[in-house]
């Protein structure tokens, strides 16, 4: 016997479908994806609109509303709280600066940083630092957490295959970055995030990648907890 609520499940699934289509989609398309009658899709959309989670564009296309950003805002403190101990351990394991970044529009923003204890040459990675999603290991990892598209760059395809992104010298000369998306089924999944490390050229990439992917899995499990 199922313990889920069908209407709630459909509403959350609708949010996921709408989130995948940055250009928006119609109620008819949503009904088809949900495999429900159009009248049911209209009721789901009306409910989501009432909570500010969905809006209709000028062309009638459905897009995520500001209510999703508000949920994400409440989610960030929770992410920081559970991530800090794991991030400190990651910095120690990889012997590199560890970080958690989230997507804000077309940028990746650093919301948490942990430095290794050893007196190593470190890469300056400050809280609040931001860069385009198209650059750096963090941006690539966040994009890798999204659904695949036919025009994805080879570096993005490779990041999905490996489970982590690897960049060299994109944001700072001599810096090497490794990051992995935090893939969570939590209702707050509108907050796209990744965990990673950054160091100079002597970074042990294989060791770092293993530690980063393990940390990403642990964070996802804790957030779903």
pLDDT digits (tens, 9 = 90+) for 123-173: 666 778 888 998 899 999 999 998 888 999 999 999 999 999 999 988 888
Q: How far is CA 102 from the centre of its chain?
A: 6
Whole-angstrom distance, CA of residue 43 vs CA of residue 5: 16
Please check whether residues 75 and 55 belong to one and the same domain.
no
- The answer to whether 125 and 99 have CB atoms below 8 angstroms apart is yes
Please check whether residues 47 and 136 belong to one and the same domain.
no
Whole-angstrom distance, CA of residue 193 vs CA of residue 85: 17
Please check whether residues 24 and 89 belong to one and the same domain.
no
pLDDT > 70? residue 186: no
Q: Give the residue-averaged pLDDT of 88-105.
A: 90
Q: pTM of the prediction?
A: 0.67
Structure tokens at 110: 């650093």
Whole-angstrom distance, CA of residue 141 vs CA of residue 179: 6
* Contacts (Cβ under 8 Å, ≥6 apart) of 94: 116, 178, 197, 199, 203, 204, 207, 208, 211, 212
Residue 70 CA neighbour count, 13 Å, CB half = 7
| Residue 69: per-residue pLDDT | 65
Please check whether residues 211 and 129 belong to one and the same domain.
yes
Q: Please check whether residue 108 lies inside any domain of the structure.
A: yes
Please check whether residues 55 and 92 belong to one and the same domain.
no
| Residue 120: per-residue pLDDT | 53
- Of 64, 95, 112, which residue constitutes the final position of a domain? 64
CATH assignment at residue 55: 1.10.10.10
Provide the percentage of residues in the chain whose pLDDT is more than 70: 86
Please check whether residues 36 and 81 belong to one and the same domain.
no
Q: Please check whether residue 211 lies inside any domain of the structure.
A: yes
Selected residue with higher pLDDT from 173 and 32: 32
pLDDT-derived band at 74 (thresholds 50, 70, 90) equals: low
Q: Give the residue-averaged pLDDT of 22-41.
A: 89
Domain that holds residue 119: 68-224
* Contacts (Cβ under 8 Å, ≥6 apart) of 79: 100, 102, 111, 112, 191, 193, 219, 223
- Number of domains the chain contains: 2
pLDDT-derived band at 3 (thresholds 50, 70, 90) equals: low
Please check whether residues 37 and 120 belong to one and the same domain.
no
pLDDT > 80? residue 106: yes
Q: Please check whether residue 1 lies inside any domain of the structure.
A: no
| Residue 119: per-residue pLDDT | 53
CATH assignment at residue 191: 3.30.450.40
| Residue 187: per-residue pLDDT | 44
Please check whether residues 108 and 39 belong to one and the same domain.
no
Please check whether residues 114 and 212 belong to one and the same domain.
yes
Please check whether residues 35 and 76 belong to one and the same domain.
no
Please check whether residues 120 and 194 belong to one and the same domain.
yes
- Of 64, 79, 97, which residue constitutes the final position of a domain? 64
Whole-angstrom distance, CA of residue 126 vs CA of residue 68: 26
- Of 49, 64, 79, which residue constitutes the final position of a domain? 64
Q: Please check whether residue 155 lies inside any domain of the structure.
A: yes
Please check whether residues 50 and 132 belong to one and the same domain.
no
3-state secondary structure of 198: strand
Q: Give the residue-averaged pLDDT of 94-112.
A: 88
pLDDT-derived band at 190 (thresholds 50, 70, 90) equals: low
Q: Please check whether residue 170 lies inside any domain of the structure.
A: yes
Selected residue with higher pLDDT from 2 and 70: 70
């Amino acid at each position: 016997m199922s313990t889920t609520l069908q209407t709630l499940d459909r509403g959350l699934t609708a949010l996921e479908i709408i989130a995948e289509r940055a250009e928006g989609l119609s109620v008819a398309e949503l009904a088809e994806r949900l495999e429900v009658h159009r009248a049911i899709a209209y009721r789901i959309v009306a409910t989501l609109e009432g909570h500010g989670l969905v809006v209709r564009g000028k062309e009638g296309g459905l897009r995520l509303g500001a209510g999703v950003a508000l949920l994400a805002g409440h989610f960030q403190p929770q992410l920081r709280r559970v991530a800090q101990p794991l991030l400190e351990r990651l910095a120690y394991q990889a012997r590199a600066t560890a970080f958690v970044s989230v997507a804000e529009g077309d940028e990746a923003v650093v919301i948490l940083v942990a430095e290794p204890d050893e007196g190593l040459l470190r890469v300056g990675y400050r809280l609040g630092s931001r860069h385009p999603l198209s650059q750096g290991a963090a941006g690539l990892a966040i994009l890798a957490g999204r659904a695949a598209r036919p025009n994805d760059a080879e570096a993005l395809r490779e990041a999905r295959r490996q489970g982590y992104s690897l960049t060299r010298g994109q944001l700072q000369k001599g810096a090497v970055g490794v990051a992995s998306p935090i893939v969570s089924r939590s209702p707050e999944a509108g907050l796209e995030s990744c965990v990673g490390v950054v160091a100079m050229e002597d970074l042990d990439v294989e060791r770092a990648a293993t530690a980063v992917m393990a940390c990403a899995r642990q964070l996802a499990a804790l957030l779903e907890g």
